[in-house]
A = this chain, B = another copy of it.
Amino acid sequence: MRIALDAMGGDLAPGPIVAGAVNAVQAHSELRIVLVGDQTKVEPLLAGAPAGAQARDRLEIFHCTQVVGMEESPVVALRKKPDNSISRCWQLLAEHKVEAIVSAGNTGAMVAGGFRLKLFLKNVRRPGIAAILPTLKGPCVLLDVGANVNPKAEHLFQYGIMGSIFAKYILKCDQPKIGLLNIGSEEAKGHDLAKETHALFNHSQHRGDFVGNVEGRDINKGVCDVIVTDGFVGNVVLKLSEGVFEFVMKMTGKELMATLQNEKPLGQLALQNLIKRYDYHETGGAPLLGIDGICIICHGSSGERAIGNALGVAAKYIEAKLNELIVNDIASNPTMASEE
């Protein structure tokens, strides 16, 4: 299997990005990676890669001259920089030269690149980014976390379907329960989008898996396996979870240091274990579900390990034939199979 990696995307690119690719081909013998970026910068970084079948032979470079900056306006950048690494990754995917693309670059540009090409799975209205949140009962899929800030109810409904397939085949959740993020538990709560989405689920063949509204305080309790919401709220939830976690870790550290006597180092060790366990570097990026192909968006600050994990995850999605499952499920929902 062949994956395109945006060698220029991310705060740390290209060094740790290329290093992550080298690790990935060593770890996965079936993997071939196309490093998309400036050849003069990428080539020297490959000098250290082990020669032969172990690695170097399965690393190619697709040269391009431009990079979308992390803070650039996605739409403007894609227009003004036609030879940027993100657009080239999408081009390789559209031409079926790769099965997956991975980038730690400008998230908005990654999404816009796919939306511009309309490289969507059959009957998928709008792709959405899925993130995995920890809960007391295991991982939970949240989507969308930023691709679609003005969704329609049909989009959220499809996010439920796609998230559910993701939870089942990737997270190995037996019968995923779907919840709608809302501001109260009753059906009539929230804005129009929430009410319409609620009705769509209740009148679909997924109603048996739909647990109704879930509130902000329920997410980490693990009341369901998939939570759907619009890209604005999802993005806030994802980043706030990260922020509150960091805040609580800092406050807890202070409190422990002030309270413990002889076991301060053990207290610190416990917190370090927790921070490691909930580190986003371990999760391997967030998939943009609904794309005809696999698209993984990594945290901007991703380093070698995060990129390596993301490439491994992309390989897993390809193997699981995630997209076939999504297309079949959406086709089996009659209201959704018709054109918009």
- Seen from chain A, the residues whose Cβ lies within 8 Å of a Cβ on chain B are 71, 73, 108, 134-136, 146, 149-150, 181, 183-186, 188-192, 194, 215-221, 231-233, 235-252, 255-256, 258-263, 266-267, 269-271, 273-274
Q: Please give me the 10 A-B residue pairs with the lowest Cβ-Cβ distance, nearest first.
A: A216-B239, A216-B240, A220-B247, A217-B243, A259-B270, A217-B239, A183-B235, A244-B244, A216-B236, A263-B263
Report the minimum CB–CB distance from A124 to chain B (whole Å). Answer: 21
A248 adjacent to B250 (CB under 8 Å): no
- Given contacts A73-B186, A73-B188, A150-B192, 11 further A-B pairs with CB under 8 A are A149-B183, A181-B236, A215-B239, A218-B239, A233-B236, A236-B236, A240-B241, A240-B244, A255-B274, A256-B270, A259-B269
Known pairs A183-B232, A256-B267; A274 contacts B261 (CB<8 A) = no
Report the minimum CB–CB distance from A139 to chain B (whole Å). Answer: 13
In Å, the complex CA distance between A252 and B189 comes to: 33
28 A/B residue pairs, CB under 8 Å, sorted by A: A71-B185, A71-B186, A108-B189, A134-B247, A135-B247, A136-B247, A183-B235, A183-B239, A215-B235, A215-B236, A215-B239, A216-B242, A216-B243, A217-B246, A219-B243, A221-B243, A236-B236, A245-B248, A248-B252, A248-B274, A252-B252, A255-B271, A255-B273, A256-B270, A259-B266, A259-B269, A261-B266, A262-B263
Most B CB atoms within 10 A — which of A218, A236, A260?
Answer: A236
User: Which residue of B134, B219, B261 contacts A263 across the interface (Cβ within 8 Å)?
Assistant: B261
B237 adjacent to A236 (CB under 8 Å): yes
B232 adjacent to A220 (CB under 8 Å): no
In Å, the complex CA distance between A216 and B235 comes to: 8
In Å, the complex CA distance between A245 and B245 comes to: 7
A72 nearest in chain B by CB position = B186
User: Which residue of B188, B220, B249, B259 contacts A246 across the interface (Cβ within 8 Å)?
Assistant: B220
A238 adjacent to B255 (CB under 8 Å): no
User: Which residue of B181, B215, B217, B240 contacts A219 across the interface (Cβ within 8 Å)?
Assistant: B240
In Å, the complex CA distance between A28 and B331 comes to: 66
B136 adjacent to A250 (CB under 8 Å): yes
- Chain B contacts for A219, CB-based, 8 A: 240, 243-244
Report the minimum CB–CB distance from A326 to chain B (whole Å). Answer: 25
A274 adjacent to B252 (CB under 8 Å): yes
